[in-house]
Amino acid sequence: MVVHTLRSIGGYVGAVAGAPARVITPARPRPRPRPCRDYDQTLRTLSQASVEKYFNAFKDVEWDAPEMAVEDDDERWILPALDLLGAHPWYRSLPRARQIEVGRHRLTAMVKTGSQFEQLLLLGGTQFLMGVDNGDPEFRYFMHELTEETHHIQMFQEFTNRVCPDVAGAPGWLMRAIPLVGHLGSLYPALFFAIILAGEEPIDHVQKDYLRTGTDGHPLMTRIMAIHIAEEARHIGFAHAWLEEHAPRLNPVSRLALGVLTPLAMRLGADAIIIPSRADRELMGMPDEVVREVWGAGPGAAAFRRHLFADVRMLFDDLGLRTPLTTWSWRLLGVDGRPARFRAEPAPAAA
């Protein structure tokens, strides 16, 4: 009923899977039975939604409209208090012009990092699709998703070019790791889909919180957020559905590895997206002690991280992947806490 999670396996991955190394190529895919009918229907529903409601980066954002103009003195770039940096005394003490400058750089850095993460998803996603059987509805839906991600990359990059082209985006370690992580799409798809959630859940939660508060943000920012949230709902839903369908069929060693490694992916993904890279911190003139106070081990940062992954904890609890053998990893990496009662539960209740 499912594709075995570990496919094109080298020595290490073979050991994790508890199976001898074996190379699976597109010409000789690993046979598998058809997915369950409910899962098939989910894929058809997602595919149809992608056909009926989608966005184009250059048709659905009025980049050159007067209200979208980016002005140096526009106070709508000032960070709201819901942003951990925006609430910090260092930022609040800056002159108004510097608050605008730092706020614009901070928001654009997150957008740029989101674009780079979407490129990681494309790299791993195409690796994953190489091993999908002919006739499998996963291929059609996930190809829709990758197509949408290309528009997100274009949208995020155009925003970066117009708002703050000096940003660096993702930290150096992530940029160097992207080619390696991409191979997980074929080597260890279950972990790859967990990594998808590690990148998509933080961005989704931050953008939803931003729009829920009614913050008077720049219309260019709010427009790309609204588009991204609308389509990411499908993408996150598919990652959840894929893991619900496939994770129960993993062998015990693979399930244990997934339960232990997912919190690491969550923490690294959240930090890469939320915390500005060293290059961007230097451009913003942000002292190291401010970084430690804002995103370090304080109660505000810890509660924020717990909130980001409440949905993932709910999913992994439902799948039996958070057990006494794996929960230590969630606690150690600061992404433990109460699971959400439902998808996208607001922060105060889910923290």
Q: Give me the long-range contacts of 28-32 (CB less than 8 A, separation at least 24).
A: 29/131, 29/132, 29/133, 30/3, 30/4, 30/131, 31/133, 32/1, 32/2, 32/3, 32/4, 32/133
Q: Are 47 and 137 in contact (CB under 8 A)?
A: yes
- Identify the CA nearest to 224 among candidates 241, 207, 239: 207
Q: Which two tokens stand for residue 44?
A: 């058809």
Q: Write down the pTM of the prediction.
A: 0.85
Predicted local distance difference test score (pLDDT) of residue 142: 96
Question: How many residues are listed for the chain in this entry?
Answer: 351
Quick count: other Cβ atoms within 10 Å of Cβ 41? 12
Q: Please tell me the distance from the alpha carbon of residue 265 to that of residue 337, in angstroms, as a whole number.
A: 16
Higher per-residue confidence, 163 vs 210: 163
pLDDT digits (tens, 9 = 90+) for 134-157: 999 999 999 999 999 999 999 999
Predicted local distance difference test score (pLDDT) of residue 346: 67
DSSP conformation letters of 301-331? HHHHHHHHTHHHHHHHHHTT---TTTHHHHH
pLDDT digits (tens, 9 = 90+) for 26-55: 332 344 555 467 899 999 999 999 999 889
Predicted local distance difference test score (pLDDT) of residue 37: 76
Q: Are 129 and 143 in contact (CB under 8 A)?
A: yes
Domains and CATH numbers, the chain: 35-350 (1.10.620.20)
Predicted local distance difference test score (pLDDT) of residue 33: 55
Predicted local distance difference test score (pLDDT) of residue 113: 95
pLDDT digits (tens, 9 = 90+) for 331-351: 999 999 998 877 766 665 444
pLDDT digits (tens, 9 = 90+) for 240-294: 999 999 999 999 999 999 999 999 999 999 999 999 999 999 999 999 999 999 9
Query: CA 323: distance to chain centroid?
Result: 24
Predicted local distance difference test score (pLDDT) of residue 297: 72
Place of tokens 């969630």: 330
Predicted local distance difference test score (pLDDT) of residue 209: 85
- Among 28-42, 98-112, 117-131, 175-189, the range scoring the smallest mean pLDDT is 28-42
Q: Mean pLDDT over all residues of the chain?
A: 86
Kindly give the interhelix angle for 189-212 and 96-130, rounded to the nearest 10 degrees.
Answer: 150
Phi, psi (rounded to 5 degrees) for 57: -60, -30
Task: Band the pLDDT of 212: cuts 50, 70, 90.
Answer: confident
Angle at 297 between CA 330 and CA 342, to 5 degrees: 45
